[in-house]
Structure 1
Amino acid sequence: MNKQHIIALIKKDILLETRQQYTFYGILLYVASTIFVVYLSMGQPEDKVWNALFWVIQLFICINAVAKSFLAESRGRMLYFYSIAGAGDFIIAKLIFNALLMLLMSLLSLAVFTVLLGNPLANATAFIGISMLGGISLSLVFTFLAAIAAKAEQQAALMAIMGFPIIIPQLLLLIKISSIGFASVVQGGLWQMIALMTGLDAMVIILAYILFPFLWKD
């Protein structure tokens, strides 16, 4: 693993994103319009509905912001990266960049949520931390899935098939963990669930680092 290669690849993605800004403004428009439609139809929902809506919207934000990262890379560009960097460096750089992007999107969507749908949080600090952890977790999973799907002909279908059995349990776990933000008392087993989520993130990173070189050679 070469840190200089990883940093250079991350800077490349950041530079492309700041120049084009299609993803950022597109996702920002999606977040604002979706939440505004929810506000018009439901007003300010109760705590459980608010929490569920937040994570469902986070899921679609992640699909739009993160899952397209590999699909946007042309074959010629991938050949160029193959000549200057290793597979491990490339996938780690993608994981870090998408985690940072999803971290920003999570905070922005949470801000829009509280403005339009009210702020029912009793423990806002805990919910912000969990939303950041959840955004990173979703980005890691979809980056890994996008790396696999980018090598297939039916990318969208493959991502849906692989992602459904993985992302549903993760979403349910995130909804369960984030319920602490609506209660003033810490529920039992919270830290065990956070440790489980962190362990799943670590497993995704390890699997991506081990398996991506086989795709990289294709």
Structure 2
Amino acid sequence: MGEGEPDTSDAERKMRFLYALRSRGVTDGRVLTAMERIDRGQFVRGHFADRAYEDMPLPIACGQTISQPSVVGLMTQALNVQPRDTVLEVGTGSGYQAAILSQLCRRVYTVDRHRKLVAEAQHVFRNLGLVNITAFSADGSFGLPEQAPFDRIIVTAAAEDPPGPLLAQLKLGGIMVVPVGQSDTVQSLIKVTRTERGFEYEELRPVRFVPLIEGLASD
């Protein structure tokens, strides 16, 4: 390979990555562009780094996971984020989902109960120059009342029902995407839209997420 020539393996890997997303239903052009820009490899460390471009969930610190890219894409697509939106993410995890959202909206607020995960995600955000993300260590089940209301809310942990405090922090016309289920084996991804008459619920697909837990973690 001559000097200045692109690394074909990188280009091929990116092409396969985007093809896998499309084949699993991620068809929104803005979402695909955002996922092409944000390198998932920046958010996966250790033994699993070489699997960062496969469409599979992977373990991260604190017993959590980074979701498989197609699920991230489908959740982002369902959220229908607009350029002037303010988005709340509950469950920062690796920071990958927040980074994708940062490409699509005006500001992302992201919260996680694990201080270690928030610190690691903030480090990656700085390295990538993502200046429109604000990450907090907090109990995400209560949302972020001081920054509410939000145009969009995304929850990356499963609750038995869409949490009341989060519903209350959603703007009129706003959308929340949340996994709902009573066990870690049977969950549905739900899209909630706030209308003048109340909340409309749409079931999107079966998913599997870690549970939404109240309180700050001790780590």
Q: TM-score, normalised by structure 1?
A: 0.26
Q: When you count helix as a share of all residues, which structure comes out higher?
A: 1
Say which structure, 1 or 2, has more relative contact order (CA 8 Å, 6+ apart). Answer: 1
Look at both structures and tell me which one has the larger radius of gyration over its CA atoms.
1
Q: TM-score, normalised by structure 2?
A: 0.26
Q: When you count strand as a share of all residues, which structure comes out higher?
A: 2
